[in-house]
């Protein structure tokens, strides 16, 4: 029998080892402690400490206490850790003590607030350019947690930060009006600039701003408070500008669960509409009830699996 070339064996091993692992749970905001279904999916197949990351919030202590008490209802015997990363001390994202805290966990939960604070701490800029961001030691620890089969969850800002691209800000009315006023050449120029810089921002107050996310899931922009704040228009524009093929808008007190190894997404929640899947090209959207499932890149199966 012929032996496979050594380099071919190594390349196959590399491809297998490079497969993403772990679970993401993106909650659409206003996550109630009584929402047992969402909490159960966050905690499923985990048994180590739960790390709470309050970076997005302006009130660290209140944010940690609230989520610690919330998880106590569903995991009363689990240790809950305050990871303690704040925007005013971004250098701590490279502190070995912070990395050690993350390594003790197999669940990380990012609370709501401003998702830009999360990225500025975990993936700080090396200079003024958006595409100069580097991965901090804490960020690499988050990836290791996922690679060992752990779960990263978040609500509101903690969900919106998960993609390669995320919303930095943007009011719906102003964003839709701005994009409607751009002619085809201007839209082409906007897309080209985003492709080269990784940032979209215009001086007008309230207009959409897009930039680097945490890069935990590919090919998807995630938005939160989706139906409640009627955000489908700004998600469609974001896909048009960035070239990202898919968007998922998650409604309040609901979630989507993403298996990073397979790209499988399942919507979780008891409301009539849990989330909305939006496709860039050809443009289309699908409402998702609880239990709807699909793989990123495919049209969803709308009928719930429950």
Structure confidence by residue, pLDDT tens digits, 28-87: 998 888 888 999 999 999 999 999 999 999 998 899 999 999 999 999 999 999 998 999
Q: What is the pTM of this model?
A: 0.91
Handedness of CA 206, 208, 213, 216 (dihedral sign): positive
Q: Are 150 and 108 in contact (CB under 8 A)?
A: yes
Query: What is the number of other CB atoms lying within 10 angstroms of the CB of residue 22?
Result: 21
CA 143 to chain centre: 13
**What confidence tens digit (pLDDT) does each residue in 233-287 have?**
999 999 999 999 999 999 999 999 999 999 999 999 877 789 999 999 999 999 9
Question: Is the predicted pLDDT of residue 106 greater than 70, yes or no?
Answer: yes
Residue with tokens 């490279």: 94
Q: Are 20 and 244 in contact (CB under 8 A)?
A: no
Q: 103: number of CA atoms within 13 Å, CB side?
A: 8
204 Cβ neighbours under 8 A, 6+ residues apart: 174, 178
| Cα–Cα dist 99/64, whole Å | 18
| Largest Cα span, the chain | 69
User: Domain 22-289 class?
Assistant: alpha beta
pLDDT of 273:
87
pLDDT of 302:
58
- Nearest 5°: the CA angle 217, 213, 224 is 80
pLDDT of 10:
34
Straight-line distance from the first to the last Cα atom of the chain, in angstroms, rounded to the nearest whole number:
50
Backbone angles phi, psi at 236, to 5 degrees: -60, -40
**What confidence tens digit (pLDDT) does each residue in 124-157 have?**
999 999 999 999 999 999 999 999 999 999 999 9
Query: What is the number of other CB atoms lying within 10 angstroms of the CB of residue 177?
Result: 14
Please state which of the ranges 102-116, 139-153, 197-211, 236-250 shows the lowest mean pLDDT. 197-211
Question: Is the predicted pLDDT of residue 299 greater than 50, yes or no?
Answer: yes
pLDDT of 305:
38
Question: Is the predicted pLDDT of residue 183 greater than 50, yes or no?
Answer: yes
pLDDT of 304:
41
pLDDT of 303:
46
Cis before 282? omega within 30: yes
**What confidence tens digit (pLDDT) does each residue in 1-28 have?**
334 343 333 333 333 334 789 999 999 9
pLDDT of 166:
98
Q: Are 266 and 295 in contact (CB under 8 A)?
A: no
| Cα–Cα dist 83/108, whole Å | 9
Give the mean pLDDT of 170-183.
92
């Amino acid at each position: 029998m012929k032996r496979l070339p050594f380099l071919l064996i190594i390349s196959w091993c590399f491809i297998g080892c490079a497969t993403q692992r772990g679970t993401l749970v993106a909650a659409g905001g206003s996550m109630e402690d009584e929402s047992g279904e969402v909490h159960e999916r966050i905690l499923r197949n985990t048994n180590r400490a739960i790390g709470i990351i309050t970076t997005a919030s302006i009130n660290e202590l209140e944010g940690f206490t609230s989520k610690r008490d919330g998880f106590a209802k569903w995991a009363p015997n689990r240790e809950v850790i305050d990871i303690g990363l704040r925007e005013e001390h971004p250098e701590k994202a490279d502190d070995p003590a912070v990395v050690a805290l993350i390594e003790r966990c197999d669940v990380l939960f990012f609370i709501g607030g401003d998702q830009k604070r999360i990225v500025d701490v975990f993936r700080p800029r090396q200079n003024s350019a958006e595409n100069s961001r580097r991965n901090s030691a804490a960020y690499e620890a988050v990836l290791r947690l996922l690679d060992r089969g752990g779960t990263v969850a978040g609500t509101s800002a903690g969900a919106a930060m998960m993609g390669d691209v995320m919303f930095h800000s943007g009011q719906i009315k102003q964003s839709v009006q701005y994009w409607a006023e751009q002619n085809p050449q201007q839209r082409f120029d906007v897309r080209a600039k985003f492709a080269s810089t990784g940032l979209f921002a215009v001086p007008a107050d309230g207009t959409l701003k897009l930039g680097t996310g945490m890069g935990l899931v590919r090919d998807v922009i995630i938005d939160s408070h989706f139906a409640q704040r009627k955000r489908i228009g700004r998600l469609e524009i974001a896909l048009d500008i960035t070239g990202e093929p898919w968007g998922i808008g998650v409604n309040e007190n609901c979630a989507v669960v993403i298996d990073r190894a397979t790209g499988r997404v399942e919507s979780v929640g008891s409301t009539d509409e849990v989330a909305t899947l939006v496709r860039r090209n050809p443009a289309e959207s699908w409402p998702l009830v609880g239990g709807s499932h699909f793989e990123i890149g495919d049209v969803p199966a709308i009928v719930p699996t429950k």
